[in-house]
C-alpha cells in the first residue's frame, strides 16, 4: 500500500544532498562561501534548540553559520544597528532574526530593516508583498517546506478545500497566499473561530499549527483528508503535534509525523532560501 506518512526527514535529506551538489558548482574559498547570520535575542530554550538545529544543517551543506546572541534587554535601536551591520557585511548572504522576540521590540520594524536581498525568512514587506502578487522567489520557510512536501508526494492542491488553523505571519498568512496562488479554496481558522469543527471537517487538506496537543481528533475530519501537522509540543518528555495521530491514522489519506514532518522541511527550506539569496547577491 502507498505510504500514508509524508516523510519530511527523508525529503529534507534529499534537498540537502542536492544543495551540496549545487554548491560544488560555485568556486568557493572561505571568504566566498555562503553565509547565514542568525540573531538570537534572549534565552528562550526552544529558540536555542531551533537555532542550533539550523546551525548544524548549515554546516552539513557548507553554509557558514554566524550566530549572534543578544541579551533579552537589548533596545530596539541596538538590534536595528546590528541588522544594518549585517546588511553591509559582504560575507553574509542571509539574515534571520529568530522569533519570538521580547515584547518591547516592534516586529515590523525588524522585518523592514533586513535588506530584502538577504531576507531568508521572507518577512520584509517587499518580499511578503511579492507573495501576494504570485511572485514566489523567496517564500517563508515553513510554508515553503509544506508546499514542497505536498508537491513531492504529488498531492493535488488546485481546486482543493484547504483549511489552515493558524493565522500567523510565519505560517498561516503566507501559506494561505501560496495555496491561493495554486488555486485552492482556502479557509483560515484561528483562536477566535467560533466553530472549528465546521471548518476542519470540510478540509481536503488540513494544516494545523496551534501548539495544542490533541486539538484535532478523529471526529473533526473527513475520510481521506491530508493532514499537515505544524504543532510542536512536549508531552511527558515526548515531542508531539496538534493532531491525535494514532486516532486519525486510518481515516486520513496522508499525514505528517511529529517529529520528522514539517520541522526538517522548514530547515531544508531555510537552506534553499540561503543558497537562493547567495546566488542572487554574488551573480
- Per CB under 6 A, residues contacting ligand GUN are 96-99, 121, 141-142, 170, 266
Under 8 Å between Cβ of 205 and 225: yes
Which CB atom, from 101 or from 157, has the smaller least distance to ligand GUN? 101
Cβ 203 to ligand GUN, closest distance in Å? 23
Q: Nearer to ligand GUN by C-beta: 203 or 264? A: 264
> 161-177 burial string, b = 16+ CB within 10 Å, else e?
bbbbbbbbebbbbbbbb
- Marked catalytic residue, from 7, 82, 118, 121: 121
Find all residues with CB under 8 Å of 116, minimum gap 6, and list them. Answer: 124, 126, 127
* Surface-to-core class of residue 281, CB atoms within 10 Å of its CB (0-12 exposed, 13-18 middle, 19+ buried): middle
Whether 98 is catalytic = yes
Active site residue 244: no
The residue among 171 and 248 lying less far from ligand GUN, judged by its C-beta, is 171
- Looking at 82, 98, 173, 244, which residue is catalytic? 98
Q: How far apart are CB 103 and ligand GUN at their closest, in Å?
A: 15
Cα atoms found within 13 Å of the Cα of residue 163, Cβ hemisphere only = 22
Q: Between the CA of residue 197 and those of 179, 194, 253, what are the distances in Å? A: 21, 9, 19
Q: Is 183 a catalytic residue?
A: no
Nearer to ligand GUN, 4 or 48 (CB): 48
For residue 38, the SS3 value is: strand
CB of 78 to ligand GUN, least distance (A): 18
Q: Nearest-5° angle of CA 211, CA 65, CA 46? A: 20
Q: How far is the CB of 38 from ligand GUN (least distance, A)?
A: 8
283 is written with which cell numbers?
551573480
Q: Which residues does the annotation mark as catalytic?
A: 54, 98, 121
Amino acid at each position: 500500500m502507498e505510504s500514508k506518512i509524508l516523510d519530511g526527514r527523508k525529503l529534507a535529506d534529499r534537498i540537502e544532498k542536492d544543495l551540496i551538489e549545487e554548491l560544488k558548482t560555485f568556486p568557493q574559498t572561505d571568504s566566498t562561501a555562503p553565509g547565514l547570520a542568525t540573531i538570537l535575542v534572549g534565552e528562550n530554550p526552544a529558540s536555542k534548540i531551533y537555532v542550533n538545529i539550523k546551525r548544524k544543517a548549515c554546516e552539513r551543506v557548507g553554509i557558514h553559520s554566524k550566530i549572534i546572541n543578544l541579551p533579552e534587554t537589548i533596545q530596539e535601536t541596538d538590534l536595528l544597528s546590528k541588522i544594518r551591520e549585517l546588511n553591509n557585511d559582504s560575507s553574509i548572504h542571509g539574515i534571520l532574526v529568530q522569533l519570538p522576540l521580547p515584547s518591547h521590540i516592534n516586529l515590523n520594524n525588524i522585518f523592514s530593516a533586513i535588506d530584502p536581498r538577504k531576507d531568508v525568512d521572507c518577512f520584509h514587506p517587499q518580499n511578503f508583498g511579492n507573495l501576494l502578487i504570485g511572485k514566489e522567489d523567496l517564500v517563508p520557510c515553513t510554508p515553503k517546506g509544506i508546499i514542497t512536501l505536498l508537491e513531492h508526494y504529488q498531492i493535488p492542491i488546485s481546486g482543493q478545500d484547504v483549511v489552515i488553523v493558524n493565522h500567523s505571519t510565519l505560517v498561516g498568512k503566507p501559506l494561505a497566499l501560496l495555496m491561493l496562488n495554486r488555486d485552492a479554496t482556502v479557509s483560515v481558522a484561528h483562536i477566535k473561530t467560533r466553530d472549528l469543527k465546521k471548518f476542519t471537517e470540510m478540509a481536503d487538506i488540513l494544516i494545523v499549527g496551534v501548539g495544542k496537543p490533541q486539538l484535532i481528533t478523529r471526529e473533526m475530519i473527513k475520510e481521506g483528508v491530508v493532514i499537515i501537522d505544524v504543532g510542536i509540543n512536549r508531552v511527558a518528555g515526548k515531542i508531539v503535534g496538534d493532531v491525535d495521530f494514532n486516532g486519525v491514522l486510518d481515516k486520513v489519506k496522508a499525514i505528517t509525523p511529529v517529529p520528522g514532518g514539517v520541522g526538517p522541511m522548514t530547515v531544508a527550506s531555510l537552506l534553499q532560501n540561503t543558497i537562493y539569496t547567495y546566488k542572487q547577491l554574488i551573480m
